[in-house]
Amino acid sequence: MVFFLFFWAANSGAAQKIKDETCLACHSDPTSTAVVNGKTISLYVDHTKFKHSVHGTIFSCVDCHKDAKTLPHATLHKVDCSGCHADAQQAYARSIHAQDGKPGHYPAANCRDCHGDVHTILAASDPASPVHHDNIPATCGRCHGQRFLMAANGVSAQPFISYQDSVHGRAVANGSEKAAVCTDCHGSHQILPPSDPQSPISRLNVPATCGQCHTAVEKTFMQSIHGQAVAQGNQLAPVCTDCHGIHSIKAPSNPNAAVAEGNVSRDICARCHEGVRLSQEFGVPGNRVATYFDSYHGLAQEGGSVVAANCSSCHGVHNILPSTDPRSTINKANLVTTCGQCHKGVTREFTLTPVHLQTGAGSRDIASIAVRWVRIIYIFLILTVIGAMFLHNAVIWRKKAVVIRRMQNPYMTRMTINQRWQHLVLLTTFIILVITGFALKFPNTWFAHTFGMGENLRSIIHRVAGVILIAAGLYHLFYLATAREGRRLLRDIAPRPHDAFDAWKTMRYYLGLSTEKPKFGRFNYAEKAEYWALVWGTALMGLTGVMMWAKVWVGDTLARWWVDVATAIHFYEAILATLAILVWHFYQVFFDPDIYPMNWAWWDGKMPVEHYAHEHELDKESLAESLAPPHSIPSSSAPAPQQRPGD
């Protein structure tokens, strides 16, 4: 066949244009192949599809393959589309796609990637075309939806994924021919990065880009205070995407949308109007969102109200204007109408009260001054009245507690001086660590404002307390190993299998399912559980605290994620320990009716013999020591029962 073509071409004149039928003599065979640069490629062209393509009725084969002048021909060069599509080629050459084909990276999109195979290109109006409106997201998604492909070029695939779930993406998926697709915002051939001032997604161009579809909204927005700032080239002015999002735009009715009723004030307006940047740069009042959330409207919305006014309810949405503008919804002349949307029958007098009450010294309106004086008076009243109440009750409580304490003779030693000092150090450092630790995690709570701590002072106090706690823990280990009373403590507080049965029997007894009250030795199951939980928690908090302190060394020696894990363990163990103290330990020390008003052992080490015998009946050794004559008790043992001074 090739020989015949060569003979025919040689005798028909080299200058004669080769016809499509001649080309198809080879290229219509599905099995026809050639080896190019060591690779076998197919030479097959589906002429039927080509005839139905946008080029099929206009061009012949050699109109595009201009270097096919003789038969047989050598390997042909890639077709240059710029011969006919010069404008598109020039635009593409300036695009990010043309400039992204860097060595070592995957090639960026070219004509074929978007329009399809050169022989089957369809018009953009054809529903089967990959560049038809409905197919644009899928076409762009061939690359931009591939995580690894995008990552190889330093780009994220998340924008495309977010678009699919957006109000635009869902509308297109449901058959809308008007919803925005990729090319509506980014352009088609001349796709430029947002940093390029000519890009349709450059910050100052965003309103015009969105305005292609949302014309009325754009017109309203450009007349607003925000739109005026954009027109003046203010890069800090908010544009459509600042409020609605970029690829993840959701309908306002969607509760997860940034512009949903419940999210506007905190998630949108607060980004600019809560900070000081606007105040410093443009003289816009700050703390507007904070004062809103101090008002009934803000408090009600935080409580879940769906009808309480938010920022947009009063200031408008796209038509936001300063109060000095007669068109503004918060202009004095328009406040009756604005407030009347919710408060039917309001008058001008009602609207004179400012919504954003300022309690600072700089506020001069009558409402702010009145509120400020009310605040001062009531803070004084609260401190004096409640302080006097506390002092009154403290005096009475102390006297009654002393009387009850004196009536509980005789006493025995429950905690030695050494043990009480260890407990005091543990108690003090634990409280300091809780306050200074949670002050970092919750900077807007009372923890952070205790003693007026700044971050530098807080971190120093926390670390010093941590070191003292670790040192106390190491001393306790030394105490258990060397002191006679320490070894006895370790022996008596060691967990036993019967502790689990004791817990079961205790629950049955106090639930009324059994008449037999469990008997315990020197330490019951609850005290043992608390002690060993303390040992475990102290070791764990100490280890993770040191890891966080030496995070650079840990990250270099092990891995950075070890520090993250240590931080998480440190935080949640702190919550667990704090709640355990409040719920478990405080009950045994303060809230157990048997020890009212509290267990004094932590203070003076003493405990009534009668109460001890009731709670620790099986500890015959301690009970015998408490009842023995003073001269027969070894100096290292607990002292005999004694009366307190003044009894």
Lowest mean pLDDT among 385-389, 511-515, 633-637: 633-637
The confidence score (pLDDT) of residue 12 equals 47
pLDDT single digits (tens) 423-449: 999 999 999 999 999 888 887 777 777
Q: 608: Cβ–Cβ under 8 A, 6 or more apart, which residues? A: 408, 409, 410, 411, 412
Distance CA 642, CA 243 (A): 75
HEC states along 450-507? HHHCCHHHHHHHHHHHHHHHHHHHHHHHHHHHHCHHHHHHHHHHCCCCHHHHHHHHHH
Mean of pLDDT values over 111-130: 88
Q: Are 587 and 609 in contact (CB under 8 A)?
A: no
pLDDT over 70 (residue 584):
yes
The confidence score (pLDDT) of residue 630 equals 52
The confidence score (pLDDT) of residue 362 equals 56
Q: Are 395 and 595 in contact (CB under 8 A)?
A: no
The confidence score (pLDDT) of residue 11 equals 46
CA 602 remoteness from chain centre: 43
Q: What is the DSSP letter of 632?
A: G
Q: Minimal CA–CA distance to 38: which of 66, 75, 9?
A: 75
Q: Are 246 and 161 in contact (CB under 8 A)?
A: no
The two structure tokens encoding residue 20 = 């499509």
The DSSP code sequence of 202-223 is: SGGGHHHHHHTT-HHHHHHHHH
pLDDT over 80 (residue 8):
no
The two structure tokens encoding residue 328 = 């503004």
CB atoms within 10 A of CB 74: 8
In 203-357, DSSP assigns E strands to: none
Mean of pLDDT values over 409-432: 91
The confidence score (pLDDT) of residue 100 equals 66
Distance CA 484, CA 26 (A): 103
Q: 316: Cβ–Cβ under 8 A, 6 or more apart, which residues? A: 224, 328, 329
- Better-scored residue on pLDDT, 313 or 44: 313
| pLDDT band at residue 475 under the 50/70/90 scheme | very high
The confidence score (pLDDT) of residue 10 equals 44
- Better-scored residue on pLDDT, 13 or 502: 502
Distance CA 243, CA 259 (A): 7
In 391-469, DSSP assigns E strands to: 411-413
> Tokens 């393509």 appear where?
53
Q: 519: Cβ–Cβ under 8 A, 6 or more apart, which residues? A: 617, 618
Q: What is the chain's mean pLDDT, rounded? A: 85
Distance CA 60, CA 81 (A): 14
Mean of pLDDT values over 86-98: 89
The confidence score (pLDDT) of residue 301 equals 84
- Better-scored residue on pLDDT, 572 or 99: 572
pLDDT over 60 (residue 457):
yes
Query: Cα angle vertex 497, ends 638, 626, to 5°?
Result: 15
- Own/partner contacts of 63-70, CB < 8 Å, gap of 24 or more, are 64/118, 68/18, 68/23, 69/14, 69/18, 70/9, 70/14
Strand 33-36 to 39-42 pairing: antiparallel
Q: 93: Cβ–Cβ under 8 A, 6 or more apart, which residues? A: none
| pLDDT band at residue 106 under the 50/70/90 scheme | low
Distance CA 429, CA 413 (A): 25
- Own/partner contacts of 500-509, CB < 8 Å, gap of 24 or more, are 500/525
pLDDT > 90 fraction of the chain, expressed in percent and rounded: 44
Mean of pLDDT values over 387-400: 90
pLDDT over 80 (residue 285):
no
Q: Coil, helix or strand for 412? A: strand
The confidence score (pLDDT) of residue 196 equals 92
CB atoms within 10 A of CB 308: 20
Q: Are 488 and 636 in contact (CB under 8 A)?
A: no
pLDDT single digits (tens) 225-274: 999 999 999 998 999 999 999 999 999 989 889 898 888 888 888 888 88
- Give the length of the chain: 647
The confidence score (pLDDT) of residue 607 equals 87
Mean of pLDDT values over 166-192: 93
Q: 73: Cβ–Cβ under 8 A, 6 or more apart, which residues? A: 67
The confidence score (pLDDT) of residue 67 equals 81
CB atoms within 10 A of CB 96: 16
Domains of the chain with CATH codes = 2-79 (no CATH), 412-632 (1.20.950.20)
Q: 291: Cβ–Cβ under 8 A, 6 or more apart, which residues? A: 355, 356, 357, 358
Q: 121: Cβ–Cβ under 8 A, 6 or more apart, which residues? A: 53, 54, 55, 115, 129
Mean of pLDDT values over 202-214: 95
Lowest mean pLDDT among 15-19, 299-303, 640-644: 640-644
Q: What is the DSSP letter of 631?
A: G
pLDDT > 70 fraction of the chain, expressed in percent and rounded: 91
pLDDT over 90 (residue 119):
no
Q: Coil, helix or strand for 108? A: coil
The two structure tokens encoding residue 282 = 């443009």
pLDDT single digits (tens) 122-166: 888 889 999 999 999 999 999 999 988 888 888 899 999 999 999
Most confident of the ranges 43-52, 359-368, 550-559: 550-559
Q: What is the DSSP letter of 641?
A: P
pLDDT over 70 (residue 601):
yes
**Cα distance from N-terminal residue to C-terminal residue, the chain:** 128
CA 181 remoteness from chain centre: 29
CA distances in angstroms from 31 to 24, 208, 329, 586, listed in the order given: 13, 53, 74, 87
Q: What letter represents residue 489's amino acid?
A: L
Q: Minimal CA–CA distance to 545: which of 524, 529, 527, 569?
A: 569
Mean of pLDDT values over 514-542: 92
In 252-333, DSSP assigns E strands to: none
> Tokens 């393959």 appear where?
65
